[in-house]
Amino acid sequence: MANRLINKTLFIEKALIDGQWVTAQSQERFDVFNPSNGEKLATLPEMDIEDVTLATKAAASALSSWKTTPGKTRGQIIRKWANLMNENGADLATLMTLENGKPYAEAKGEITFAAGYLEFYSGEAERCYGEIVPSSNSSNRVFAIKQPIGVVACLAPWNFPAAMITRKAGAAIAAGCTTVVKPAGETPLTALAIAFLGEQAGLPKGILNIVTAMRKLETVGKALCEDKIVKKLSFTGSTPVGKLLMAQCASSLKKLSMELGGNSPFIIFEDSDLDQAVDILMSAKIRNSGQTCVCANRIYVQRSIHDIIAAKLVEKFKNLKIGDGFLEGVTVGPLTSKRGVQKAARHVQEAISSGAKLLHGGNVIPGHGNFFEPAVLTSMNPTMLSHREEIFAPVAALYPFDTEEDVIEMANNSEVGLGSYVCTKDGARQWRVAEQLEAGMVGINTGVLSGGEIPFGGLKQSGFGLEGGKWGVEEYLVTRAVIMAVPDV
Ligand code: SIN
């Protein structure tokens, strides 16, 4: 596998604890597979509680010097780390396409996106300002100071093997915290290569520890939740798992950031530029083969333009090229897991048997890879499974609507609220709808909701806590009060 890389040292089959590349104490290992063809890519340490303990202890002993390192110095290291990621973008993207399946061009885009978090946070490292508060007592002066919260655990998902690592750990490290990161078992190779570049950039030992696990994922997660050394846990994943982790964190009363499931409404009003709306929809639906928490899930189209949009969408779907992410022109890679393929097929079948029309695709593609033919469904209604649950696959499900009022009610009729999208040329409507949608992010005539500077996070059962921008760093700080008695003035 290493021979596919320009810089072969980026292929790493060990975990990182206290600046050392290590195996699991038990010497157990797990395999990582290519979702495009089922081939084994690597074997990684299957870590357990004792490895987590070593990692959190390493993070704890690195804390005192890192939190007192000037923000400017921390920022310089983080900026160098971002630069190294960009310089090694081709290799990082190769690792990502191999383990996650996303098309190579998209994987390269994710590296730029991921490095963008480090670039932004590198500046924020210098700006962890406190405040001077006017006191109600004239003999006192009151200061609100910001300090790093301490050791942070980051549990990252498989759908963005690079960006979710830098979005979490980059912010924590910029704030002066030290980290233990657990990448997803399906996609640890990108994370390990990024950690290696972090070391090259000058991160001292113990600041960024990476523990790997697949079969023992739950044990490792629970150990991090229950470890009293860890003061904050940041998780991206499903709502049920988020709730479980919250319960496990209760005994140590950790601060939490929970970026949980979405079910994004995508609303197209009849006054939109229809071609532009379809292009935006494609970007919000097909990104990472439909496997993002903010992919358009419930596509609401005003009745007067419904059939036109459906027809335009089918034409776009016909032009999608499905295949191995390294093949020229491929726009939809394999889904990362077989589970994802089964779920997509279940959603399509349930919709059809409940009265939906399948206009395009919808088949599982036979073979060793996890390929699913992108699908377009119309005549959907809110009783169907896909209205309640995220599809997490390249399946576009269209629901007709009549009025602005109706569509806002339908869009908000969800337990979760992460992403949302509105296409309309009417300026007043843009604000009206954006302000009423119950979602953490609203894209108006755009399919892009995230970036280094953007606050990303959910409402309702999509969780809490923000990632990105100054808010992302703020999550890893505690505000403390210093009250100083002064002589009478
Ligand atoms: C996610 O799917 O969790 C993140 C998506 C994004 O940042 O755009």
The CATH number of residue 47's host domain is: 3.40.605.10
Q: How far apart are CA 471 and CA 174, in angstroms?
A: 12
* Token couple for 144: 């609100």
C-alpha 25 – ligand 1 centre gap (Å):
33
In this structure, are 233 and 343 located in the same domain? no
In a domain, residue 457? The reply is no
Nearest CA to ligand 1 atom 8: 450
In a domain, residue 486? The reply is no
Query: How many structural domains are present in the chain?
Result: 2
What would you report as the CA-atom Rg of the chain, rounded to the nearest whole angstrom? Answer: 23
In this structure, are 336 and 207 located in the same domain? no
**For the CA of 449, the nearest atom of ligand 1:** 8
Give the domain range for residue 98. 2-260+462-480
Q: Is there a contact between 327 and 333 (Cβ–Cβ < 8 Å)?
A: no
In this structure, are 23 and 66 located in the same domain? yes
In this structure, are 271 and 254 located in the same domain? no
Which of the listed residues 167, 450, 453 should we mutate to test ligand 1's pocket, taking the one with most ligand atoms within 8 A of CB? 450
Longest dimension (CA), the chain: 82
CATH number of the domain at 339, please: 3.40.309.10
In a domain, residue 485? The reply is no
In this structure, are 56 and 27 located in the same domain? yes
In this structure, are 148 and 232 located in the same domain? yes
Across residues 392-414, what is the average pLDDT?
98
C-alpha 17 – ligand 1 centre gap (Å):
27
pLDDT at 2 over 90: no
What is the pLDDT, as a whole number, of residue 287?
97
In a domain, residue 488? The reply is no
Which of the listed residues 456, 462, 466, 467 should we mutate to test ligand 1's pocket, taking the one with most ligand atoms within 8 A of CB? 456
CA contacts within 13 A on the Cβ side of 184: 22
The reported pTM is 0.97
In this structure, are 415 and 466 located in the same domain? no
In this structure, are 419 and 467 located in the same domain? no
Question: Cα dihedral sign for 477, 483, 486, 489?
Answer: positive
**What is the per-residue pLDDT across 220-230, written as a single tens digit (0 to 9) for each?**
999 999 999 99
Which of 259, 373, 467, 475 is flagged as catalytic?
259
In a domain, residue 362? The reply is yes
In a domain, residue 171? The reply is yes
- Ligand 1 shell residues, CB under 6 Å: 159-160, 236, 259, 292-294, 449-450, 456
**What is the per-residue pLDDT across 34-69, written as a single tens digit (0 to 9) for each?**
999 999 999 999 999 999 999 999 999 999 999 999
In this structure, are 279 and 238 located in the same domain? no
In this structure, are 115 and 154 located in the same domain? yes
- Which amino acid type is present at position 249? C
Q: Is there a contact between 390 and 415 (Cβ–Cβ < 8 Å)?
A: no
Helix (H, G, I), strand (E, B) or coil at 375: strand
Q: What is the mean pLDDT of the chain?
A: 98
In this structure, are 217 and 316 located in the same domain? no
Identify whether 259 is a catalytic site residue.
yes
**For the CA of 159, the nearest atom of ligand 1:** 2
C-alpha 135 – ligand 1 centre gap (Å):
42
The model's confidence at residue 313, banded by pLDDT at 50, 70 and 90, is: very high
What is the pLDDT, as a whole number, of residue 489?
61
In this structure, are 18 and 125 located in the same domain? yes
**What is the per-residue pLDDT across 67-89, written as a single tens digit (0 to 9) for each?**
999 999 999 999 999 999 999 99
Q: Is there a contact between 46 and 215 (Cβ–Cβ < 8 Å)?
A: yes
